[in-house]
Amino acid sequence: MTDKYTQMVSHGLGRDIARKLGLPQPVVLRRHQPGQPIITGPVLVQGSTAGADALAAALLLWDLDVRRHAVPKEKLGAIVLVLDELSRPEDLERPVLSAAASLRDLSPNARVVTLSRQAATAGSPAAAAARQGVDGLLRSLAKELRSGATGNGIVLAEDVSVTSASTLGALRFFLSGRSAFVDGQFLAVTSAEGHLPEDVDKPLAGKVAVVTGAARGIGAAIARTLYRDGATLIVVDIPAAGDHLADVANEVRGTALQLDISREDAGQRIIDHAVERYGRLDIVIHNAGITRDKLLANMDQGRWSSVIGVNIAAQLRINEALLGSEHFRDAPRIVSVASTSGIAGNRGQSNYAASKGGVMGMVRATAPLLAVHGGSINAVAPGFIETEMTSRIPLATREIARRLNSLQQGGKPADVAEAIAFLASDAAGGISGEVLRVCGQNLVGA
């Protein structure tokens, strides 16, 4: 589905008319294309700590134009604000206001990324206040940025360095076009697990991945993105979607498995198929889901039980089989598709919101169970995404939903897929139990 309004006001006469009338002025976002630079323009690393120095040195190895001091009126591709040694709220003033002086020099589709430490493990109330202050600072700043620029943050555990593999992996993701529709969000790096890929264009090379609900929409986009990144694919969907599933399998040169994931033996059948065809299983993406919307006052048992059964109960059973299998032991990755409905709720979707809230609870509780195998589990929570389903929303409602985020437009299935591909990679090995919103910083919800 095409957002014709965004295309119209992104340049020329349409942009001028929108400006004069005070209408929303979304811009076409810079999305990842293989072979393109991580980011265009100088990257300003702000901060006076040893961590800031080490990070700047690491970024130089990526062939980026790294600056430690701003040049007045020089257009910047990104500002990276290193706040890893805050001990009191007053410590924010100097680095933050120094970065603020360069905000007007950001290029379209620029990036602002903060690096800070967890508030919960601070050694004093003052340090906790300063660290938690970064949360409010970054989320507010993200709402002030314009022209497709985004602001996101990385939060480090006490024993995780600014240059650990997953810290650099998260930073690369946030700087790149892969995170085009991720805005105002934080990722916590809680361990030193993971490693950066030898081939940055094929970070999933050698991995065998399963994607459920892969016959169309977001699921098909996930399969294509994992394939582009080097994974071998097993695509799963219900038998009724068999023709579409076969088309996707052929496109990604994988195998199709027609399977109702709500079956009791679905997890074992997935494992058996992977082992029989490829001898291993490394990544499972829980994308399959359904909606059966109705106001709760009118909700019947069939609508409730079917949504809970497919969207969360099936994932729990499949995960139980995965955790019990000797074939899912080598730094395994699970990524589930949640929803902003599970965070903020949505009228007429009490069953769906309950199921997606359940996904997030499952992810947090399962993380330590996978950690013993060097594995991880995370969730991605999409907001308004341009799909066949959202195209059926009445025009006025659809336009409002598109504009209710800081980027003033809907996301694309590829935006969800890019976030999932990153979380499924070894570069995100130190990130687990997290829920990453892909919603353009939707104005509703946390």
With a cut of 60, say whether residue 446 has pLDDT above it.
no
Is residue 278 part of the annotated active site? The answer reads no
This prediction's pTM: 0.94
Question: pLDDT band at residue 404, thresholds of 50, 70 and 90?
Answer: confident
pLDDT of residue 391: 65
Domain boundaries, the chain: 36-189, 208-438
Mean pLDDT of 138-142: 97
pLDDT of residue 5: 59
With a cut of 60, say whether residue 277 has pLDDT above it.
yes
Assigned superfamily of 208-438: NAD(P)-binding Rossmann-like Domain (3.40.50.720)
Minimal CA–CA distance to 223: which of 129, 434, 100, 213?
213
With a cut of 60, say whether residue 445 has pLDDT above it.
no
pLDDT of residue 233: 98
Minimal CA–CA distance to 177: which of 37, 25, 27?
37
pLDDT of residue 21: 60
pLDDT of residue 114: 98
* Active-site annotation holder among 5, 227, 278, 352: 352
Averaged pLDDT of the chain: 93
Q: Residues 42-98: pLDDT tens digits? A: 999 999 999 999 999 999 999 999 999 998 889 999 999 999 999 999 999 999 999
End-to-end CA distance of the chain: 27
CB 300 within 8 A of CB 226: no
Mean pLDDT of 270-279: 97
CB 367 within 8 A of CB 376: yes
With a cut of 70, say whether residue 396 has pLDDT above it.
no
pLDDT of residue 72: 87
With a cut of 80, say whether residue 175 has pLDDT above it.
yes
How many CA within 13 A on the CB side of residue 356? 27
Give the integer Cα–Cα distance in Å for 444 and 186. 17
Q: Point out the least confidently predicted range of 17-26, 98-107, 268-277.
A: 17-26
Question: pLDDT band at residue 403, thresholds of 50, 70 and 90?
Answer: confident
Residues present in the chain in total = 446
Question: pLDDT band at residue 157, thresholds of 50, 70 and 90?
Answer: very high
Mean pLDDT of 231-241: 97
Q: Residues 216-230: pLDDT tens digits? A: 999 999 999 999 999
Mean pLDDT of 235-248: 97
With a cut of 80, say whether residue 1 has pLDDT above it.
no
pLDDT of residue 399: 72
Give the integer Cα–Cα distance in Å for 20 and 115. 38
Query: Fold match between 36-189 and 208-438?
Result: yes
Q: Residues 296-355: pLDDT tens digits? A: 999 999 999 999 999 999 999 999 999 999 999 999 999 999 999 999 888 899 999 999
Mean pLDDT of 21-47: 87
pLDDT of residue 401: 74
With a cut of 90, say whether residue 15 has pLDDT above it.
no
pLDDT of residue 423: 98
pLDDT of residue 27: 86
- Is the model more confident about 388 or about 51? 51
CB 379 within 8 A of CB 315: no
Q: How much of the chain exceeds pLDDT 70, in percent? A: 92
pLDDT of residue 402: 77
pLDDT of residue 18: 58
Q: What is the CATH number of domain 36-189?
A: 3.40.50.720
Amino acid at 424: A
Q: Residues 244-258: pLDDT tens digits? A: 999 999 999 999 999
